[in-house]
Amino acid sequence: MNDRFVNDRFVEVKPSPIAPARQEQPIFHSRTKHNRLLWRGLWVLFIVALSIRFYHLASHHWSAYVHDGASHAAYVGYVRVHLRLPPVDDDFEYPQQPLYYLLAAPFYNTHQNWDQNWDNLAPLGFCISAASLTLVFLSLRYLSSWLLRYGIFVFLAFTPAFVLASSCIGNDGLGFFFGAFCFYCILRLNRSPGTARHFIMAIGALLGALLTKLNGIVLLLALPWLLWRRARFDSSWKPTVTRLAVVVLLVTLWACGVLYRGWNPGSRQFVFAHAWMWDAMKINENRLVFWLRFDLSNLILAGQTTTTAGTPDEVRFSFPSWEYGNMLLGEYGYADDPVLLFCTRQVIVAGTYLLFGLAFFIFITLLSRPIWPWQNIFSLSRTVLLLIVGSTCLVLAFVYSDPVMCNADFRYQNFALPWIGYGIGRGLCAFPRSSVWRYTMVGFMVLYVYASLCLLTALYIRR
């Protein structure tokens, strides 16, 4: 499979028109058969990933992997009973964006107890997770490199932390859905920029993200690329100005609503977030050390990323180490079981190829195209890099405002998850002409899927 880099994406090289017809026909049929096999492989992975998530829901293992489930369920219950959003109060954490709670309210039964209502809300989380994975799968047809397709899907479908959060009670899952929806719309717009409905769908995804969680604001960083890509097919500047004015109006109305909801008359201040400052989780490390130190060896030895002293301080108080481990394993303990600890260490070691892919993506994106004339700045890969960096900076800002380990959780990057997967997959395509590189990356992906499935199987058997 020979690929080449064209217009910010990889495309397969077509047979030369000067080649004899008797040679072109077998090559065409061989490539078609090869593509069918690769699509079937993706279908198998898709079915396996959905099956694991359904088993996770049906076996009730999800109840051990819920973040702040009680607060989110109480929020849903309040909306169901009072038919309005609750006031700003510590009992409800902070004035969450309303969309998830409005969607979840019909599933809350006021005549049932707490545990029964948890069982009512978990299937909604599973449906949102399945829809998100489906959107990611549908997006793959708008990419032209098989290594990129598999790289994205393996990361998003089989990372253990994402599977364990697939039946979550809360708005994190819906955040991932709108991130995946925006991913789907932007890839469609990139392939067919002349179609207005793709642009409208992308703007709808941005608004849905803003109404789900405050960190959905990171997706607004894709707005310049959206406007530029759509404007290239306009004969005048007026349609672009009109679209920009409409988007600015919608975002302004949203911002006014956020300010109105966040105002606490009692304390006469705006409340947008609330964090509990437990001593065990408080970050006392030097900020530069916290931001820059990456201790992979201690992370492998720990085999987990918990907020308690069970995880070494070199991991807990190191943002890169914590983000990487938390991305793979979540904020859960595994060290009490030697089998689980062995499996988590496998996942951490196998997942290092994700770091290499992301590093190659950053390097290629920054150096692949010039920055002048200014039109060259707008590329899909650079927009993706901007989204990844913006999402990470939002998490760092949250940690800076309240230096608690929980605030550094990778789940706060849920809107950027598909874009992180895209960046990793693009980095895996760094040397498209090298068959050795390609098969090596495929080997790493197989090892990662194997390690992830081993951990999930061990969890379900031993717990």
Looking up tokens 């060896």 gives 297
Question: Residue by residue, what is the 3-state secondary structure of the chain?
Answer: CCEEEECCEEEECCCCCCCCHHHHHHHHHHHHHHHHHHHHHHHHHHHHHHHHHHHHHHCCHHHHCCCCHHHHHHHHHHHHHHCCCCCCCHHHCCCCCCHHHHHHHHHCCCCCCHHHHHHHHHHHHHHHHHHHHHHHHHHHHHCCCHHHHHHHHHHHHHCHHHHHCCCCCCCHHHHHHHHHHHHHHHHHHHHCCCCHHHHHHHHHHHHHHHCCCHHHHHHHHHHHHHHHHHHCCCCCCHHHHHHHHHHHHHHHHHHHHHHHHHEECCCCEECCCCCCCCCCCECCCCHHHHHHCCCHHHHHHHCCCCCCCCCCHHHHCCHHHHHHHHHHHCCCCCCCCHHHHHHHHHHHHHCHHHHHHHHHHHHHHHHCCCCCCHHHHCCHHHHHHHHHHHHHHHHHHHHHHCCEHHHHCHHHHHHHHHHHHHHHHHHHCCCCCCHHHHHHHHHHHHHHHHHHHHHHHHHHHHC
pLDDT in tens, 245-293: 999 999 999 999 988 888 877 777 777 776 666 677 888 888 888 999 9
CB within 8 Å of 405: residues ≥ 6 apart? 281, 282, 283, 307, 316, 317, 322
Q: Give the number of other CB atoms < 10 A from CB of residue 182.
A: 28
For 299, 338, 409, the CA distances from 302, given in Å and listed in that order, are 5, 11, 17
Instruction: Mark residue 384 as left, alpha or beta (left: phi above 0; alpha: psi -120 to 50; beta: remaining).
Output: alpha
pLDDT band at 21 (very low <50, low <70, confident <90, very high): very low
- Identity of residue 265: P
Give the pLDDT of residue 412: 92
pLDDT in tens, 154-185: 999 999 999 999 998 989 999 999 999 999 99
pLDDT band at 16 (very low <50, low <70, confident <90, very high): very low
- For residue 20, whether the previous peptide bond is cis, meaning omega lies within 30 degrees of 0, is no
Tokens at 38, concatenated: 């690769």
Give the pLDDT of residue 96: 82
* Prediction pTM value: 0.89
Tokens at 350, concatenated: 């196998």
Looking up tokens 């980095």 gives 427
pLDDT in tens, 284-326: 888 888 999 999 999 999 999 998 878 898 999 999 999 999 9
The overall average pLDDT reported for the chain is: 87
Give the whole-angstrom CA distance, residue 201 versus residue 190. Answer: 13
Give the β-pairing of 9-12 and 3-6. Answer: antiparallel
pLDDT in tens, 353-388: 999 999 999 999 888 766 666 566 778 899 999 999
Give the whole-angstrom CA distance, residue 440 versus residue 446. Answer: 10
Question: Residue by residue, what is the 3-state secondary structure of 123-184?
Answer: HHHHHHHHHHHHHHHHHHHHCCCHHHHHHHHHHHHHCHHHHHCCCCCCCHHHHHHHHHHHHH
